[in-house]
Chains A and B, each alone.
Chain A
Amino acid sequence: MSAGSAKIPVTVAEITPVTDLITRFRFARRDGGPLPVFSGGAHTVVEMQDGDTLRRNPYSLMGDPADQSSYSISVRRDDQGRGGSLFMHSQCRVGMDMVISNPVNLFALDLRGRKHLMLAGGIGITPFLAQIKQLAASNGRFELHYAARSAAHAAYADDLRAAHPGNVHIYHGDQDQRFDLEHLLDGQPLGTHVYVCGPLRMIGQVRDTAANLGWPREAVHSEEFLAPKSGKPFQVKLAVSNKVIEVGEHQSLLEAIEAAGVEAPYLCRGGACGQCETDVIGYDGKFLHNDHWLDADARASGKKIMPCVSRFEGKTLVLDR
């Protein structure tokens, strides 16, 4: 099968500042046609032509999943990041042509759930916005707890509170308001599923607390996109295509493979889905595995690498690509 997902040519229809760090972008199909419906929690991969660099970043779709007229994403500016969010904030303009992927969902609602308990940290609110719209349309029962640094940083909090009074609880870090996880997770009705999207530390806390309280592992869902880490440049030989490529300091291995004109499969580009798993033919050095996909055995084998987020340090690395 071809690399990545089916692509959709779009135009930037609207750009809306939401907080001093978060901006919302609305895309419509270039041909004016309807976009595919999707399921709450899905993301799209946005392609950005940033000078000579083609960036592809995943962003959660935050609009109504049944609305086929346009897609919206919210992008948090990361001044220390590799440049994707900076491109969106500084170079993206209304009317610009861009390419996005068909929706992919790695954070779907478990539709068996009798109740959906949602825990959001910061920009992690975005997948829940779509899930809440999906649930509201089918009279699904949910409860959202949303933590942000301050009222000014709590994107969409006012809209959520107005639309769903009683189901939405906002916590402001600057006022020392914190989730009381023990209290939140204890005593939920049977059949409740909990979803967490936010910083890694928050996901860990929720998982640990739920496990200690006896929650079934299958009832706890989380999503965290890893941004590829920067690191020392390294050289890779691609055996199938017979090319030697350089991976730059702020480039991922996957991006370097693509920049060399070699097609490689991917979906999430964040170390979660497993689609880009690549066989290692030979190596002399050390892997820097940053993904959530390979287990300890696979890592120890030295035969697999996830090029979307993982790197390498050493003399030689030969990949089956």
Chain B
Amino acid sequence: MTIQFKDETFRDDYTFKNSEWAVNRFPFPFHEDSYMYSVNMEPHQSFRPGSVFEHRFDVDEHYLSEMRDRAQVLAEDPLRCQSLPHMTLAGWDLLELIMVSKSEDYPDLFQLNRDDNNWHWINKPMGIDQKFTFLDEATLPYGPMEYITRQTQGDFAVLDQRDDNLWMDAGMITTQADWSLDFDIGMNFFEWHAPVPKAHELGIFVRALKFLLNVQQGLPARRLNWTMTVNPLLDTSPENYSKWGVQKQELTLENMPDKMHLRVELQTFFRLPRSNALVFPIRCYLIKLGEVVTVPKWGRRLHRVLRDLPEELATYKGFIGNRPKIIEWLSRYDDGAPTSPGIWPD
């Protein structure tokens, strides 16, 4: 289908909302009525045409507005995009992966013509027409990672692989669930995950790292993660906590359907061929609770999951204070009927 790009905001007047098309393809993260951490990886193969799992890099109706929001974040805080010197080759790998994927998956929107290292990239939605020399930074307006991730939805952590560990040595992070690239830059996998409760005791990170170190070229993987966000904020960063943290106090039963959002991250993992680095795209999808309950199965299930979630997880995910209100509101949409297995609407 042709995507109708929307003109909307993720700040100030918050005009973001999902069309019915976007609601029905939302990656609802709960396959059953309860939730606990797991490594929950699966191959990132094309699945269910029209869903967010169809293409390697999903493009949806929020594309242009999300890219405008990213540009605003970067203008205010350039440190949201960093790349240590040894990561430039990985940046070219990422540029190649995204340009090739998008031009193959969305030929009406993106075109890539390659003649040896002379490349011509056309991004029609953003009105970009760029000729450049692959592997020559001087021919692009930004470094390769920054150039392509200013044109691609989702955050990107680019991880160097060495010493049997992964290192957060580059990234474009402007739509994050309360973590900071500037704080984490240069850290290894265990260091940047240190704040996560429970998962260490469960041995999750040792297993997850082992899995990730063996992610192979041509066999990307994916998983979903989630949290709750008041207002459709893409940029819930520690750097700006003083701006958005206070907004959690504004939540009432009345404004709940429009103000409270389920925030889902489609996390994917690709081995980058030239650098042997790993790229970890973290794509954020927002949905209002009022939109969630238009799918009866999701309304019932979200109520049960949030009601039964262990306290430390609700604290870590930042909604412990608002949980009683959220559960009260959602309970109106839970008639106790059984739900079908899997994440899709009935």
- Chain A residues near B (Cβ < 8 Å): 1-2, 5-6, 36-39, 41-42, 65-66, 102-105, 108, 110-112, 134, 138, 218, 267, 273-275
Contacts and interface: CB of A to CB of B under 8 A. Distances in A.
Pairs A-B, 3 closest by C-beta atoms: A6-B218, A111-B86, A108-B276
B218 A111 contact: no
Contacts of B43: 1-2
B214 A275 contact: yes
Interface of B: 41-43, 86-87, 89, 135, 160-163, 210, 214, 216-219, 221, 273-276
A8 B308 CA distance: 47
The majority secondary structure among interface residues of chain B is mixed
Given A38-B273, A105-B276, 18 more contacts: A1-B42, A6-B217, A36-B217, A36-B218, A38-B217, A39-B273, A102-B217, A102-B219, A104-B216, A108-B276, A111-B86, A134-B274, A138-B135, A218-B162, A218-B163, A267-B216, A273-B214, A275-B214
A5 B86 contact: no
B96 to A, nearest CB: 8
Most buried by B among A42, A110, A112: A112
B216 A37 contact: no
Contacts of B221: 1
A102 B274 contact: no
Nearest to A7: B218
A39 B89 CA distance: 11
A38 B272 CA distance: 8
A5 B42 CA distance: 15
Contacts of A5: 216-219
Nearest to A103: B217
A134 B219 CA distance: 23
B261 to A, nearest CB: 32
Contacts of B216: 5-6, 102, 104, 267
A112 B162 CA distance: 10
Contact of A37 (B214, B219, B274): B274
B218 A102 contact: yes
A218 B164 CA distance: 10
Contacts of A112: 86
Contacts of B42: 1
A36 B273 contact: yes
B97 to A, nearest CB: 11
Most buried by B among A36, A38, A39: A39
Nearest to A267: B214
A6 B219 CA distance: 7
A134 B161 CA distance: 17
Contacts of B135: 138
B306 to A, nearest CB: 31
A264 B89 CA distance: 34
B274 A111 contact: no
Contacts of A36: 217-218, 273
A39 B219 contact: no
Nearest to B216: A5
A118 B89 CA distance: 21
B210 A274 contact: yes
Contacts of B273: 36-39, 103
A138 B276 contact: no
Contacts of A37: 273-274
A2 B43 CA distance: 9
7 contacts: A5-B216, A37-B273, A37-B274, A66-B274, A104-B216, A111-B160, A218-B163
